[in-house]
């Protein structure tokens, strides 16, 4: 059983359960509580801090809801891998995971030539029925499923192989082919997982997923890639910087 040194300030206006949850979250994010470590049970933790069991249960449940802890029957409460926090920029998930010290791996589920339907044609600025390449990948971090990535590119634009897609991110392969991505438009949303999506991502039935639709353009303003991606909301967040404007 593992637990960091915890303390609560009863004079603080911050709820006691949240004080405990914040300290445990910090310990998880700094690695003091590494992935796979187990917490003492709620009764022991509550006793150490002089808190009620419901208060401690609320703190633990908060972190379970945040995707940082998981309750396992017959085992106890365990730390799961930290959420991946990604800035909303024109970058590859593969490169972002590598830069964050994660270990990305890719399984190529589809790689085929097909024709653009109305939706794909609209996003790529081509006529419906035009030839495109469709690829679908399962991206993992630290051996754990993280995202389902579906992308479409104009046919003949770049040669892609399963081996290449397993060893590198799509944007790196495009760059190596001399394609320079300059801008993109993207939309972030959410949905409930289908049975197939939940199974692939090892989530529960109808689990919450983050979605991102992106169209990337080269320096000529030509659409070179349309992607529709699904991310585990329990393991992934988008970070956006905003600024005020002066009236």
121 vs 93, higher pLDDT: 121
pLDDT tens for each residue of 86-99:
444 456 666 666 66
Question: What gap in Å lies between CA 9 and CA 136, rounded to an integer?
Answer: 50
Q: H or E element: which one contains 62?
A: helix 53-65
Greatest alpha-carbon pair distance for the chain in Å reads 68
Is residue 84 within 8 Å of 237, Cβ to Cβ? yes
Q: What is the pLDDT at residue 87?
A: 43
> C-alpha angle with apex 38: 37 to 43, nearest 5 degrees?
155
State yes or no: pLDDT of 230 exceeds 80: yes
Q: CB under 8 Å to 163, separation ≥6 — which residues?
A: none
Q: What is the pLDDT at residue 61?
A: 86
pLDDT tens for each residue of 173-217:
988 889 888 888 888 888 999 999 999 998 888 888 989 898 988
pLDDT tens for each residue of 24-57:
888 887 778 887 788 877 888 888 888 898 998 8
Work out the mean pLDDT of the chain and round it to a whole number: 83
Q: What is the pLDDT at residue 88?
A: 40
Q: What is the pLDDT at residue 89?
A: 45
Q: What is the pLDDT at residue 237?
A: 60
Domains and CATH numbers, the chain: 16-79 (1.10.10.10), 84-239 (3.40.1410.10)
- Per-residue confidence at 10, pLDDT binned at 50, 70, 90? confident
Within 10 angstroms of residue 100's Cβ, the number of other Cβ atoms is 13
pLDDT tens for each residue of 124-166:
999 999 999 999 999 988 788 889 999 999 998 889 999 999 9
Is residue 175 within 8 Å of 164, Cβ to Cβ? no
pTM above 0.75, yes or no: no
């Amino acid at each position: 059983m593992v637990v960091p040194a915890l303390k609560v300030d009863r004079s603080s206006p911050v709820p006691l359960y949240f004080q405990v949850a914040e300290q445990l979250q910090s310990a998880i994010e700094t690695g003091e509580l590494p992935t796979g470590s187990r917490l003492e049970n709620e009764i022991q933790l509550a006793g150490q801090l002089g808190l009620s069991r419901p208060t401690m249960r609320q703190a633990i449940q908060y972190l379970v809801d945040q995707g940082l802890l998981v309750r396992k029957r017959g085992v106890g409460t365990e730390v799961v891998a930290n959420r991946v926090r990604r800035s909303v920029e024109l970058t590859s998930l593969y490169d972002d995971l590598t830069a964050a010290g994660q270990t990305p791996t890719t399984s190529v589920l589809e790689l085929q030539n097909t024709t653009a339907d109305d939706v794909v044609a609209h996003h790529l600025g081509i006529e419906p029925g035009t030839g495109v390449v469709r690829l679908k990948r399962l991206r993992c971090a630290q051996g754990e499923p993280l995202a389902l990535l579906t992308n479409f590119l104009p046919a003949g634009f770049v040669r892609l192989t399963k081996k290449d897609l397993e060893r590198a991110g799509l944007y790196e392969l495009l760059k190596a082919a001399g394609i320079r991505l300059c801008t993109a438009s993207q939309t972030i949303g959410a949905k409930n997982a289908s049975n197939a999506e939940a199974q692939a991502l090892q989530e529960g039935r109808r689990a919450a997923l983050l979605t991102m639709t992106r169209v990337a353009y080269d320096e000529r303003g030509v659409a070179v890639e349309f992607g529709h991606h699904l991310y585990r909301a329990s393991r992934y967040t988008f970070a956006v910087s905003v600024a005020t404007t002066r009236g």
